[in-house]
Every structure is written in structure tokens, then in C-alpha cells.
Amino acid sequence: MRLKRAFAAFGGGGGSDTLSVDASARPAAAQSAMNARPLALLVAVVSGGCATVALAQGELVTYSWRFVEVVAGTNTPVASPNGMLQPGEAARLTLDVSFTPPVGSTVTYNPPPPPGVGTVAGLSEVFFNLLGDTSAQGTWSFHQRAPGFSIGMQGTELPGGKGRENASAAQFVLPGQTANALNPFPALWSMVWTPASYSPRSVTWQSAPGSSAPTSHSSLLIQYGTTAQGEPQYVGKFVAGQFGSVIVPIVPAPGVGVVALGGAAWLSRRRRGR
């Protein structure tokens, strides 16, 4: 039996947002298609009827960011975190994702496959840039994605380590399997950033749609039917995204501030004595 695997088309828009891929193709070709950007779905294409339903509103994927202090050169959290980086520390920048409407809500999508209406089954994909401000020079390491969301790219490092471009995480639901319905989804993507220097400053990290597909960045899995064997069938739908940010404060070693303060006081007394 031959199945058609439909993927979201690069860039979205137009009359159809799916690309049919023959499942009987060679494994290497199938894997190449699965890693294409942007990935949004895997379905067995069938026909079906359409009923009158109450539709959910406000389809949105929210990108929320936080950081964890880790020992520089590792992915190990520091023993006594204080919410800021000091020499010898790095920041594990972590993406938490949530979406609306909730799983089980009825929504429409652009067929094929028919019928054009289904229920939200889970997150399909996120595709984003993570951009630091002008003081964000550093290096990146220890890329991680949540189990089951390993499809996609870790993102290209920007010059000077000032961010990641076209990073993604997506789930690929094989026939017979069930979509991961977790919502909110903690720690979907993470990576460790080590600053090039520990000069006092606050570095702002802002997420944004992935550069190579700025209108096709966030998608939900929609269950539109079941096979004759009772297996769920899914299609991906691109939706709006809300891109958050996080601020990473950096402070010098504890003694540096005391020395600087003492030096300033000495200079002040010397000027007054002249």
C-alpha cells in the first residue's frame, strides 16, 4: 500500500500548503524530505465529508524564553544561581512553547487533504531566529531539543555569536503513532551561550520568525480523520506566532565592584584635598 506524505510548502500561501511525497521513495530521499524546511506534517491522504461545526478562534503559538546559569564549558547548572552571569558562568537559553486553541478544539485548514476541518492535536513545528543585542558577543554549544522534536536545524550561528538564525524543532508523526499533545511544552529547544567578556551589562535576546520563511514559522498538528485501521491522520497548519525575549544580566567578579567603588572614593577625597 502506498501512502502520500504531505509537507507544508516552503513559504506557505497560495491555494495549497501541502507538498505530496511518495512514501515508496528511497529512504534517503524520504529522510531528505523530512528534514526540509519548513516541516509541518505527515499524513495519509484520504477523502471525507464535512460537517457544520463550532470553530475555535485565536490560533497562536507563543515563544517564551528563560535562562539557567551553567558552569562555562558545560551544560551543568551552577550550585548557587543568582539570576546573573559571573566569570566562569554561561547561560542556557531555553524556549518554552504554548499554543491556542487547546488540544481537542475544532479548527479549519486549507485542503488537501479533505475535509478541511479537524481538531487540534498538538504542536507541529517552531521556526525562529534568536537575536542578541550589540553586546551579545560570545560562543554557542550544547544544543538540545525535546524528545520527539528532533526534526529541523539547530540554527546558524550569527557573526560574533550574537544569535542563531533559522533554528527549528518539529515532531514527525509516523503512521500508527499519536501526536505529542503537551501544552504548554517546556524546554522545547535550548542552547548554551558563553559571553566573550564579563564586562557589566544586560544582554537582551529577542526571538523572531526564521529568516528563510518569515511567514511560515509556527504550525499546529490537526487531526482530520482516521484510517480504516483506526489510526489518526494529521495535517499541519501554519498559524500566528508571538515571539518573546529574555534579558541576561552580566556582572564582574564579586571583588571587582568593591575595588572600583573604593578607587572612586579615594579619587574623590584626593580632589577635595587639593
Let me know the angle formed at the C-alpha of 133 by 165 and 199, rounded to the nearest 5 degrees: 125
Can you give the pLDDT at residue 254? 61
| Euclidean distance between CA atoms 93 and 90, whole angstroms | 9
Whether 252 has a pLDDT exceeding 80, the answer reads yes
**Residue 267: pLDDT above 90?**
no
Query: Measured between alpha carbons, how far is 225 from 233 in angstroms, rounded to an integer?
Result: 5
Average pLDDT of the chain, as a whole number: 80
Q: Does pTM top 0.85 for this prediction?
A: no
pLDDT tens-digit readout, 68-102: 999 999 999 999 999 999 999 999 999 999 999 99
Looking at this protein, which amino acid is placed at residue 155? G
- List the domains of the chain with CATH numbers: 4-48+59-263 (2.60.40.680)
